[in-house]
């Protein structure tokens, strides 16, 4: 049975339908990369899975149990953790406090202050710093560490490289690759198609709220994904 099942999910922002009939599954240990242009619906989809946005239709199954109606904090306890776009740290609190607060809300498991610092070594000398004073890369590492402190079974990562210097992106992805190698189950939003294809087991491309291409990363080419990303296949099909 899949760890996560998304069935015909719809999500709206007022009259605008941001997610349209989206269905997919994620098995234990898989990494699914969601790609797509700005406004394709990726953030809304992740937030809906995490319980931060109410769906307009469809179902979300976690370990076969329908969690569509349960609140975000209960999904966190069940093992679904979101690293939101923009990180949303408690900027007045220290890194250590950010991590410990999350640990207090989560599940029991292998992640604690020591194991998070091991996974993100750049946090070691920043534990006593105010989160608001960190560099972008350090903030992102704290945000992912905060999610790990809840001992999730499914990690939802929204654009972890957004606004980071290339060297910080490398550091964050090095840590993510170690998590993936350790068996983590991840759904991540990634704008960089090459990186998505390199890091993920499967890639799904969204266009205007729908998944228009999905497959195993190893069996997809950059050209296929780029075409779907910009809706070029559809444009060509529509041409006389
Ligand atoms: P980005 O890469 O820009 O974050 P995205 O693929 O994550 O894009 P969403 O942020 O989910 O896409 O946006 C999907 C659609 O919903 C867009 O048309 C966007 O303008 C709209 N939208 C997103 N958030 C809101 C909101 N809070 N209120 C109204 N419309 C919204």
Going by pLDDT thresholds of 50, 70 and 90, the confidence category of residue 234 is: low
Backbone angles phi, psi at 157, to 5 degrees: -120, 120
- What DSSP letter does each residue of 216-235 carry, written as one string? EGGG--HHHHHHHHTTHHHH
CB 128 within 8 A of CB 136: no
Q: Domains of the chain by range and CATH? A: 4-238 (3.40.50.300)
Ligand 1 within 6 A of 165 CB? Answer: no
Quick one: tokens of 35?
């790609």
Beta strands in the chain (DSSP E): 4-13, 16-26, 31-35, 57-62, 65-66, 80-83, 154-158, 186-189, 202-207, 210-216
Confirm or reject: Cβ of 86 under 6 Å from ligand 1: no
| Centroid of ligand 1 to alpha carbon of 38 (angstroms) | 8
149-185 pLDDT, tens digit each: 999 999 999 998 888 888 888 888 888 888 898 888 9
Contact 88, 42 (CB under 8 A): no
Indicate if ligand 1 lies below 6 Å from the C-beta of 69: no
Q: What is the pLDDT of residues 3-57, one digit of tens each?
A: 999 999 999 999 999 999 999 999 999 999 999 999 999 999 999 999 999 999 9
The token duo for 162 is 């957004």
pLDDT confidence of residue 233: 66
């Amino acid at each position: 049975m899949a760890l996560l099942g998304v069935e015909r999910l719809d999500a709206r922002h007022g009259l605008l339908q941001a997610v349209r009939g989206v269905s997919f599954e994620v098995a234990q240990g898989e990494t699914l990369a969601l790609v797509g242009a700005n406004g394709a619906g990726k953030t809304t989809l992740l937030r809906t899975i995490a319980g931060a946005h109410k769906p307009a239709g469809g179902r979300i199954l976690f370990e076969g149990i329908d969690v569509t109606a349960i609140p975000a904090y209960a999904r966190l306890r069940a093992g679904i953790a979101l690293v939101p776009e923009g990180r949303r740290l408690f900027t007045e609190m220290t890194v250590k406090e950010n991590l410990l607060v999350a640990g207090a809300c989560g599940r029991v498991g292998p992640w604690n202050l020591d194991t998070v610092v091991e996974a993100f070594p750049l946090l070691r000398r920043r534990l006593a710093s105010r989160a608001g004073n960190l560099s972008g890369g350090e903030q992102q590492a704290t945000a992912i560490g905060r999610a790990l402190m809840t001992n999730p079974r499914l990690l939802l990562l929204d654009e972890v490289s957004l606004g980071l210097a290339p060297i910080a992106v490398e550091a964050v992805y090095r840590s993510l690759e170690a998590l993936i190698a350790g068996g983590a189950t991840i759904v991540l939003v990634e704008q960089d198609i090459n990186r998505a294809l390199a890091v993920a087991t499967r890639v799904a491309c969204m266009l205007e709220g729908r998944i228009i291409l999905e497959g195993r990363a190893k069996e997809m080419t950059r050209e296929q994904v780029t075409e779907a990303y910009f809706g070029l296949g559809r444009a060509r099909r529509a041409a006389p």
